[in-house]
Amino acid sequence: MSYTFAMSVASGRPIDSIRDYVAALEARGRLLRIESMDQDQYEITAFAYRLLERFGSEAAPGFLVERVRIDGQWRDGPVLANLYGSWPDEALLFGVAAINDDQHQMYRAVIDTLVGQLDRSGNWPRIPPVVVPAAQAPCKEVVLTGDAIDIERFAWLKNNPGDAGRYINMGSVFMRDPDLGSNVGTYRCQVKGPRKIGVNPEPGQHGWLLLREMQQRGDKIAKVAIAVAPDPMTFCASSTKMAGFKEDELEFVGGLRGSPLPVVKCETCDIFVPAQSEFIIEGEIPLDQFEAEGPYGEMYGFQGAAKKENFFMNIKAVTHRRNPWVLNSFTGLTWDMPKAPQVASNLFLYKRLIPGLTGLYSPAGASGVIVIGIQKRFPGQGISAGQYIAANPALNKVVIVVDDDVDIMDAGAVLKAIGARWQPSASVLIPQTQMMMPDPSRPTPMLSGKFIIDATRQLPQEGGPKSWPAQNRDLLSRGAPGSFDLVDQRWDDYFKNGPGKAG
Ligand SMILES: Cc1cc2nc3c(=O)[nH]c(=O)nc-3n(C[C@H](O)[C@H](O)[C@H](O)COP(=O)(O)O)c2cc1C
């Protein structure tokens, strides 16, 4: 693992930092600025719920709160939340040329753009990072060591009265070992004292496996660095499994950016971190001592149990930008990571495995459910397609397969297909299989049942009707071909007096 050194870096992409991304959102009217909020009354959390309830999870804008009251003190933020979750915003981030507000169009555009970046075997391009000197790294504008460190003074939030405390919950946790390899993963970190935080890689995560290998080798500590609010591409790589175990995720970040990611060496260890991050928290995780952590409101919207023994980290240095930004995840509510690269790789992979696959979509806010579209030609194809998806331990519990004339992004259209096209016999129940997701309904961690609903039109060989009747809308289009054009042309005319007013 060797990095090249350079004095300066020219990036081919405009979005090099979270600040660039937020500026781009703001330029599109997609950011709300709020002067102050009182988190002692859980104002920011309740606001996040209302925002998503009233706008919908895909259309709700990001928001930035300048000052926050925490434990009776007004603290400078800003605290930012809900920055990811809308497909036009992802399209902007991943370089789609013409952006508009149509979620469906932008979903297809960003996924097509990213699938186009994969090679013939489905691999992402890789460009190794480039090391910049500390003087050129914004994350080193302020350097704190020893007693000068007080992590508690920043505006980390306690999201919910049921949580164990305040959390740094959007940090990218970097590990790097000369023999074992490197990893970065997003894991929540409970604030435990001025120089102590919890670190929560779930069992089976690459970060957890790496720590376990260090433990088995007899190491007493693991050196770790946490980048809070790095550039969005690094955050994307840290929140997904774009890279295999021990592969350097930052090479994939370079590939996504189209240019090397500028990194800088930590103060207290040989880990290199994104130079544009807001904070770097460096420290040591003891490998022979553990502490209680949680409870914490989890991604499925239910409280996750307190853990009796979890990793924690003694902080040795904190470096940050001047006026650093805090990013907060309202776990189980907001979306909180760019998802398009993960969707693009899944689509590429499954298109190879599933003949006729036209798309796959996990509806925002419905963790556990995935919808796939297929162009069905043969009996059994719907169930086979569902079985491939259900076999993935990182994918969902309920797999709904629909014909390609159903819009997989439209929950109403999918429910309509289930209502009109599905018979319960066209289903498969898998009583128990591997599943990594922390679904609160399952009795045993790492295991879950899965269910495939084949809502494609069943063929006669599958027990379906001899022939399917025509759909009313198709009859209209065929029998009166000009009707929709006529209405589209007159559309503004119908509304000139506004809805409900006399025409
Ligand atoms: C905001 C956010 C918080 C997350 N928190 C955790 C966490 O506390 N523990 C965990 O194991 N995974 C968490 N994840 C998911 C992991 O980051 C993701 O599975 C990633 O692939 C883990 O990296 P790794 O495979 O390199 O270990 C979180 C993801 C996001 C976007």
What's the pLDDT tens digit per position in 334-373? 999 999 999 999 999 999 999 999 999 999 888 899 999 9
The verdict on the CB of residue 172 being under 6 Å from ligand 1 is no
Beta carbon of 337 within 6 Å of any ligand 1 atom:
yes
- Sorting pLDDT into bands at 50, 70 and 90, what band is 446? confident
3-state secondary structure of 63: strand
Q: pTM of the full predicted structure? A: 0.93
**Measured distance CA(318)–CA(456) in Å, rounded:** 55
User: Ligand 1 pocket, 85 CB below 6 A?
Assistant: no
Helix, strand, coil percent values for the chain (each to nearest 5): 30, 25, 45
**Does the beta carbon of 298 lie inside 6 Å of ligand 1?**
no
The Cα–Cα gap between 372 and 388 comes to 11
Closest CA to 198 of 318, 288, 283, 277: 283
User: Treating both helix axes as pointing N-terminal to C-terminal, what angle do 103-115 and 340-353 enclose, rounded to 10 degrees?
Assistant: 70
What's the pLDDT tens digit per position in 276-306?
Answer: 999 999 999 999 999 999 999 999 999 999 9
Q: How many CA atoms lie within 13 A of 92 on its CB side?
A: 25
Average pLDDT rounded to a whole number, residues 268-279: 98
- Higher-confidence position of 3 and 458: 458
H/E segment holding residue 411: helix 411-421
The class of domain 4-327 in CATH terms is: mainly beta
At the top level of CATH, which class does the domain 354-462 belong to?
alpha beta
Q: What pLDDT is recorded for position 187? A: 98
Ligand 1 centroid to residue 126 C-alpha, Å: 22
Residue 286 C-alpha from the chain's centroid:
29
Q: Is the CB of 338 under 6 A from ligand 1?
A: no
* CA atoms of 483 and 502, how far apart (whole Å): 24
The answer, yes or no, to whether any atom of ligand 1 lies below 6 A from the CB of 458, is no
Q: What is the spatial distance between Cα 187 and Cα 174, in angstroms, rounded to a whole number? A: 10
- Per-residue model confidence as pLDDT tens digits over 301-336: 999 999 999 999 999 999 999 999 999 999 999 999
Distance of CA 173 from the midpoint of ligand 1 (Å)? 9
Please state whether the peptide bond connecting residue 295 to the residue before it is cis, i.e. omega within 30 degrees of 0. Answer: yes
Q: To which residue do tokens 């009776």 refer?
A: 72
Percent of the chain with pLDDT over 90: 89
Distance set, CA 288 to CA 202, 216, 285 (Å): 17, 11, 9
CA 183 to chain centre: 17
- pLDDT score of 501: 60
Q: For residue 11, what pLDDT is reported? A: 35
pLDDT on residue 500: 64
Half-sphere exposure of residue 439, counting CA atoms within 13 Å on the CB side?
23
Task: Determine whether the shortest distance from the Cβ of 202 to ligand 1 is under 6 A.
Answer: yes
Q: Residue of the nearest CA to atom 22 in ligand 1?
A: 185
Number of CB atoms found within 10 A of residue 5's CB: 10
The chain-wide mean pLDDT, for the chain, equals 94
What's the pLDDT score for residue 1? 41
Q: Name the amino acid, one letter, at 297.
A: G
**Cβ(201) – ligand 1 distance below 6 Å:** yes
pLDDT of 436 above 70: yes
What is the pLDDT at residue 437? 81
If you measure from the C-alpha of residue 185 to the centroid of ligand 1, how many angstroms do you get, rounded to a whole number? 6
Which residues fall within 8 angstroms of residue 312, CB to CB, at 6 or more apart? 192, 196, 197, 198, 199, 285, 286, 289, 290, 291, 293
The answer to whether residues 228 and 327 touch, using CB atoms and an 8 Å cutoff, is yes
Percent of the chain at pLDDT exceeding 70 = 96
- Domain layout of the chain by residue ranges: 4-327, 354-462
- Give the Å distance between the CA of 183 and the centre of ligand 1: 12
Q: Which of 187, 213, 300, 310 to mutate to test the pocket of ligand 1 (most atoms within 8 A of CB)?
A: 187
Question: What span, in angstroms and rounded, lies between the C-alpha atoms of 458 and 378?
Answer: 10
The single-letter code of the amino acid at 404 is: D
- DSSP track, 290-351: -EEE--EE-TTSSEEPPEEEEEEEEEEEEEE-SSPPEE---TTTS--S--HHHHHHHHHHHH
